[in-house]
Amino acid sequence: MAITVSIELNRELEISAGYDEVFELLADVPRSASYFPKVHKLTDLGGNTYRWEMEKVGVDKHAIQSVYASKYVANKDAGKITWEPVKGEGNGLVRGSWALTAKGDKVTALKFQTSAELTLPLPGLLKLAISPVIKHEFNGLVDTYMKNLKAAF
């Protein structure tokens, strides 16, 4: 038995750094991922496609782990970095984007959007109880990621 949890997040922030510098960091997936908390392993699958394996949450046989792969496309002129899910890799489908806008020489405005569908090996009865916990955890990870990125500059 399995349940699917859907998550959508949107964030906006300003980074005290120039557009080129911010774009370079975000477009470099391994470098950007180094600021994301609780990543157990990031694997380069080639073609700017990466498999993310997050740390396990829980205890022993009740531990759950999110694993997914996404293909990344960076377009500096358009100020966009997008990612689309790779089907058949892990238990999640994750898509999203960064939109960057220069606000002068030393400030870059960012819009982050992501959506995820995680399929977890849990009984259907747990969906109502576990969905808010997973969404809360995912929100916390993204908030920490944003703080870490801001601190990097």
Write the CATH number for 49.
3.30.530.20
Residue pair 9/140 in contact (Cβ under 8 Å)? The answer is no
Residues 6+ apart with CB under 8 A from 70: 49, 50, 52, 83, 84, 85, 86, 94, 95
| pTM confidence score | 0.91
Residue 104 has a pLDDT of 87
Q: Give the start-end residues of each E strand in 21-102.
A: 39-46, 49-54, 67-75, 80-85, 92-102
- pLDDT, block means (10 residues), the chain with 153 residues: 92 96 98 97 98 84 85 98 96 97 95 95 82 89 96 94
Per the structure, how many domains does the chain have? Answer: 1
Q: Which two tokens stand for residue 120?
A: 């977890």
Q: How many CA atoms lie within 13 A of 73 on its CB side?
A: 9
Residue 52 has a pLDDT of 98
Full residue range of the structural domain in which residue 33 is found: 3-152
Residue 41 has a pLDDT of 97
